[in-house]
Structure 1
Amino acid sequence: MLTVMLVDDEVNVIEGLKVSVEWEKHGFRIIGTAYNGEEGFTKAMEYKPDLIITDITMNKMNGIELAERIREKQPEVSIIFLTCHKDFNFARKAVNLNIDEYLIKDTMTREEIYAALAKIKVGIEERQKKKKAKELTIELNRNRCQLSEILINELLKKELVDIHSFERRLNIYNYNLSKQKYILSLLTIDRYIDLLKSNTFNKEEELIQFAVINVVEEILKKYDIGEVFPKSENSYVIIFNYNPNLKISMDEKIAVVLKEIQSCVKEVLKTTCTAYIGRQLGSMHELKSAYEDILSLKNNRFYMQDGLVLYYSKSEAKFSNIDFHYVNDLLKEFDHHLDNRNLELLTHLEYLFFEKVKKENIFAVDVKLVIERFVNSLKKYLQKNVFMYQPVLPDSYLNQLSYMDSVHELNETFHNFLKSVLEILNKNAAFTCTPEMKKIIHYVTENLQEEISLDTVAAYVNMNSSYFSRYFKSKTGGNFVDFLTNMRMDKAKELLADTDLSIEEISIMVGHVNKAYFTKVFKKVTGSNPGEFRKKRYSRRI
């Protein structure tokens, strides 16, 4: 049964529609009524009807405005305009809103209403079928990608003992690698974090993965030269598979294929991708060592521009470890300038560090470790001195480091991050913790695994509960319960990322004896359950 909501500032119109139309007989059920556009919008957001029948001329918000606002939030909802003779032409001008039907109030008959409902019902049901088909396709693609990812990770991380068993598994997923020679290639999406933030994909990692897989599969099929497997959210393994042919230079053919793949990926994603090419192999047994060879190119990539093709056979660059005595001295100096909130000296220190890194070709992993220590230093400082730090330091920032494949991207993003932190610190003193707020934060931090309430914390800082609640809101702009929940979830994320403790153990350590309730709260705050969060933390590595 489809749902319908009626909106009109004339009570008799709404009542007339209620009693004169046999809604359920025609597959509809009235779930709400509203007597002006503003009320209609509020109820539409709450009830989410399949169909809205609304007058155009109303107080507070007319039907056109109502339709515009609803289309922004619920683009698939069907809308029928009720209009008078005098504003019928005006209603017709609203074609850009994609209104489903127009009925003239003074002359509309039951037959016209039933015809409109029948037409809309067909449209809604057709959309629902397409939506279900799309969801099924996405689910099938998701399952295939997940299974393929497991398969390729197993191949590249373990010694291949039973090749025949592995070939049977490949066949189950319709992969064909039956030719004589192999060349392993790795494809990584450049500026992946920026891509996730873009309006095109809006954090939909699966959509990006499906798009890349489809592009690469189509091109490989066109040249009949191999298979592609998802390796992680932003990386893909291509196994070029071919029979030797003295008339064709396989290196040249693969170069052409990769150039086409890079071009098509850029067209679809609006960003570049970098390709790594290994040596020629005579057996799938060699794929694991070939992948390890390719990983060694990651340091070369770190100091190059985006969108290139890197060949293992041409890798000659030398890299060095960073001097961690230098790093410790650097961090002490960084903390000193941070205490003084000196933007100029902090950014100069950052500049000197990245210049040293580029000059000495420091291993990428070392550079990221230092940046991670910088970020943790900033986070501790903010937690100690500033309450409202969450917008500046999203919890995902440290995870984002693993996506950054170039020193240029890392330098740019860290610089912007540092700048935004210092802007908040210097913006105004209102954000800085008062002695009372420091006591509150200290108490909560030290007692996260205990049962904490507003009353217990109020007593700790010698305030009554009512005054404490007002005081806390005046200093933070939020309520204490939300603050406590966020502190507990922050600690949970830290433990999930940095320890091997079970989810049940972590639940208890952050004050939730009930694991199921902890999981529910965690998902509400972060958007994923604890297991998914931990998996993403570790899977975002090549």
Structure 2
Amino acid sequence: MYSVMLVDDDQPVLDFLTAVIPWNELGLSLHSTCKNGLVALEKARDCPPDILITDIGMPYMDGIELIRELKMLNGELRVAVLSCMDDFTYAQQAVKLMVNDYVLKETISREMIGGLLKELTGELRRRDEEKAQTLKWKNMARSQQTLLKQNLLQRIVSRETPVGDWGPDAAELGIRTEAAASLAVLCRIKCSKGAEDTPAGDLAVMALVESALPGVLQDGEGAVCLPVSGRDCVLVFGGGPGKSGSAGHLSRLGRLRAAIGRTGAAASLQYISIPPGSGHFREGMISLLTQGREYAFYVKPGELLELKEIRPFATEDLFACYSEASGEIREAFLEESAQRLAELVAKWMEYIRSRRFPPRQVKEWTLKLLYDNQLRLMARQQFQSSFSLEVLHDTISGMDHIDSLEEWAMGFFYERLPYIREMYQETRRDEIKKVKQYVDRNLNRKITLEEVAEYTHLNSSYFSRLFKKETGMSFIHYVTHTKMEHAKELLDQSPQSVEQVAEQLGYENKSYFTKLFKLHTGSTPGEFRGEEGPKNGQLQGSRRRYL
């Protein structure tokens, strides 16, 4: 919707124009009504109008001066001049200012002013359509250029593609691998908090990085930006160690990092110096796009690192500490403590950072932690959920930095904490809540009805009836159900034997434990774990790895 400013020192004229213009019919809005040019200029400074209808002779600032000032604020302003004076001099000045129309007040009518505004609005619409079409063509051209550069990068790093297939295209862009050494930089962009987490696609990343280059390059230097995907791109600078040396690299990349920082974003930069030669260039680019993108999982926004100096990933197995982490988080949920959950997530993510486990293994470990927590919640609360393992898998797979993974995992737990609270508060009786917590903390031994009745200071018969009424199941059934769910976790997560699992849950008789487990799950512990063959069409169990 275009806006119209009305300016005249005659109030009846302003009232007439305000009333006579068919605003809704023309798709227009009233910007403001002003008694003189000075007031109008002040109101237009922050938000200039699209159309100006103004008188000529006014105190403080006349219409001619107002038009000059507003044209400086909006060079495409449409203007219609009103005047009582049929004066050729004013008309000449108006023409010089490229006024769209010059109207005598005596001739104004509803039809005339409506037709005039309809014509001016049509001009503005045509202008905007032309701009939109031009922008569309430019974006199409940039998009096509981006695809060509992506394709070039793919051919460079494909060992099956001969150099002759990509060498000429690279040279055309300014990448001459045979003539001189190169500096290749993996650049990952992260926007500041409060803005979008990443720029919107390859075009936005390239535009941001390329806009920072003019302040980085010196005379005779060139750089080519090759999009990778998402918020990653590769910059190739001509002239490596032989031209500027490592000190020159650091200075140049420092300026690049600072220039990107001034846009409100942060760039982590990993660089590699590549000797002359197409073969060297290909291997260097392969290293940057494989090792570099994996290492970027731990690189902090704003860091500047040489690829060869980055510490490699740990060789130990992160899953060795899975049971400990899972148990601690389980206890935090039992305590219904958001603070404790935040502390534990931070603790384990810091442990992962300090050891630098491979990103794939970290995602695998985190996925299992979140998924097992969800299964436990669904089993205990018996509620229907729209939860999807596939969605969880895809979400975590797409995480390209441990900070994002930590933040998302914490949000996942926070979202489920109210369900845990509801699980313990679905009954308003504190005794039932205390008993459920008591059972969860004493799964390693036999728990009797008399024991918990004494714990809650209630008569055992009364407690039994109360528990059945509030939960829908007997106390013994609840204990068995809870122990069997925990047994599934132990069989899935630990190398303990069936006898050891039974003993850990307070069952001295393996056969009795096996019988209860089969009643609860439909399979024996061995079948669940995958140590025995499936029977009667049962699915064979196994230790789950989800990525």
* TM-score, scaled relative to structure 2: 0.51
Question: Using a 3 Å threshold, how does the CA distance of structure 1 residues 76 and 155 change in structure 2: closer, same or farther?
Answer: farther
CA deviations 1:6-28 (Å, max 9, x no partner) are: xxxxxxx9xx989xxxxxxxxxx
Question: Using a 3 Å threshold, how does the CA distance of structure 1 residues 396 and 281 change in structure 2: closer, same or farther?
Answer: farther
In 1, the alpha carbon distance for the partners of 2:125 and 2:48 equals 8
Preserved contact between residue 275 and residue 281 of structure 2 (Cα < 8 Å): yes
Match of 2:315 in 1: 320
Match of 2:355 in 1: 360
Match of 1:115 in 2: 116
In 2, the alpha carbon distance for the partners of 1:325 and 1:285 equals 41
Number of residues paired by the alignment?
A: 362
Paired residue type of 1:363: P
Match status 1:51 vs 2:34: no
CA deviations 1:193-220 (Å, max 9, x no partner) are: 975358xx6x566434432244347745
Alpha-carbon deviation of 1:273? Answer: 0.7
Paired residue type of 1:211: L
Does the residue aligned with 1:362 lie in a helix, a strand or coil? coil
Match of 1:215 in 2: 212
Alpha-carbon deviation of 1:78? Answer: 7.3
Structure 1, 254-263 or 308-317: larger mean CA deviation: 308-317
Paired residue type of 2:27: L
In 1, the alpha carbon distance for the partners of 2:403 and 2:207 equals 28
Counterparts of 1:117-132 in structure 2 under 5 Å? Answer: 117-132=118-133
Alpha-carbon deviation of 1:187? Answer: 0.9
Alpha-carbon deviation of 1:253? Answer: 2.3
CA deviations 1:480-502 (Å, max 9, x no partner) are: xxxxxxxxxxxxxxxxxxxxxxx
Does the residue aligned with 1:166 lie in a helix, a strand or coil? helix
In 2, the alpha carbon distance for the partners of 1:276 and 1:146 equals 23
Match of 1:134 in 2: 135
Match of 2:223 among 226, 232, 247: 226
Match of 1:272 among 256, 262, 266: 266
Question: Using a 3 Å threshold, how does the CA distance of structure 1 residues 425 and 107 change in structure 2: closer, same or farther?
Answer: farther
Preserved contact between residue 277 and residue 310 of structure 1 (Cα < 8 Å): yes
Does the residue aligned with 2:123 lie in a helix, a strand or coil? helix
Question: Using a 3 Å threshold, how does the CA distance of structure 1 residues 231 and 302 change in structure 2: closer, same or farther?
Answer: closer
In 1, the alpha carbon distance for the partners of 2:365 and 2:190 equals 22
Counterparts of 1:247-258 in structure 2 under 5 Å? Answer: 248-258=243-253
CA deviations 1:115-162 (Å, max 9, x no partner) are: 322222222211211111112111211121122112212322x11653
Percent identity of equivalent pairs = 10
Does the residue aligned with 1:180 lie in a helix, a strand or coil? coil
CA deviations 1:366-391 (Å, max 9, x no partner) are: 2232222233345556777666878x
Counterparts of 1:157-168 in structure 2 under 5 Å? Answer: 158-159=158-159, 161-168=161-168
In 2, the alpha carbon distance for the partners of 1:309 and 1:129 equals 43
Does the residue aligned with 1:190 lie in a helix, a strand or coil? strand
Does the residue aligned with 2:246 lie in a helix, a strand or coil? helix
Question: Using a 3 Å threshold, how does the CA distance of structure 1 residues 413 and 399 change in structure 2: closer, same or farther?
Answer: closer
Match of 1:399 in 2: 395
Preserved contact between residue 190 and residue 271 of structure 1 (Cα < 8 Å): yes
Match of 1:180 in 2: 180
Match of 1:490 in 2: none
Match of 1:286 in 2: 280
Question: Using a 3 Å threshold, how does the CA distance of structure 1 residues 205 and 130 change in structure 2: closer, same or farther?
Answer: same
CA deviations 1:211-268 (Å, max 9, x no partner) are: 22443477458652432201111111122222775xx533222222211211121122
In 1, the alpha carbon distance for the partners of 2:30 and 2:185 equals 58
State the structure with more CA Rg: 2
Question: Using a 3 Å threshold, how does the CA distance of structure 1 residues 122 and 218 change in structure 2: closer, same or farther?
Answer: farther
Unaligned runs of 5+ in 2: 3-16, 34-46, 54-65, 83-104, 428-547
* TM-score, scaled relative to structure 1: 0.52
Question: Using a 3 Å threshold, how does the CA distance of structure 1 residues 396 and 376 change in structure 2: closer, same or farther?
Answer: closer
Match of 1:169 in 2: 169
Match status 1:239 vs 2:267: no
In 2, the alpha carbon distance for the partners of 1:161 and 1:197 equals 35
Preserved contact between residue 51 and residue 78 of structure 2 (Cα < 8 Å): yes
